[in-house]
Amino acid sequence: MILYFLRHADAEDAPAGGDDLARPLTAAGVESLTAAGHLWRRLNLRPDRVLTSPALRARQTADLAVRGLGLAAPPTTVPELAPGADWPAFARAAIRWPDARRILFVGHEPDLSSVIGELTGAASVRMRKGGLACVEFPGTPEPGAGELAWLLDPDLYDTTS
């Protein structure tokens, strides 16, 4: 099984006393993810399911990923991936689709780094905004059984170079 982890792109700051879950992506965040689609297609990134946090910035990121990859199915918003999610929450979200062999999770920090670390045994993982990681498993995903196959830094998406 393959699990992909995508951190939402750059988002607006929450206004004082504002709703953190309602923060949209910035124009730069949208541009970065739009540019990423080409690279992701070259990697043959083909998730069976895209599961996203209910936060607006994550849903927008998931929508851009689906569009950039040319996937037919829209992303699915799952409450388990809200900020503060841990591996058991990710697992509960994934188990709803037992036939999915490749799942793309769209979420937040420090959740993604923590989950990747737990699954791979890595002492430290740094997921920048818009970063994408691939963790492969010989069977069922469980702590310590995964291998970090790759981690894409969002600087690779820069179209100005």
What's the pLDDT tens digit per position in 37-53?
Answer: 999 999 999 999 999 99
CA distance 59 to 35: 17
Question: What average pLDDT does this structure show over 11-33?
Answer: 91
Q: Would you state the pLDDT for residue 161?
A: 47
At 91-122, the pLDDT tens digits run: 999 999 999 999 999 999 999 999 999 999 99
- Residue 152 sits in a domain of what CATH number? 3.40.50.1240
Query: 14 lies in a domain?
Result: no
Does residue 13 sit within a domain? no
Domain tally for the chain? 1
- How does the average pLDDT of the chain come out, rounded? 94
d(CA 136, CA 116): 11
- What's the domain range around 53? 2-8+22-157
Q: CB–CB of 4/112 below 8 Å?
A: no
Q: What is the pTM of this model?
A: 0.95
**Spatial separation of the C-alpha atoms in residues 34 and 48, rounded to whole Å:** 20
**In-domain check, residue 85:** yes
CA distance 109 to 100: 24
The per-residue pLDDT for 159 is: 58
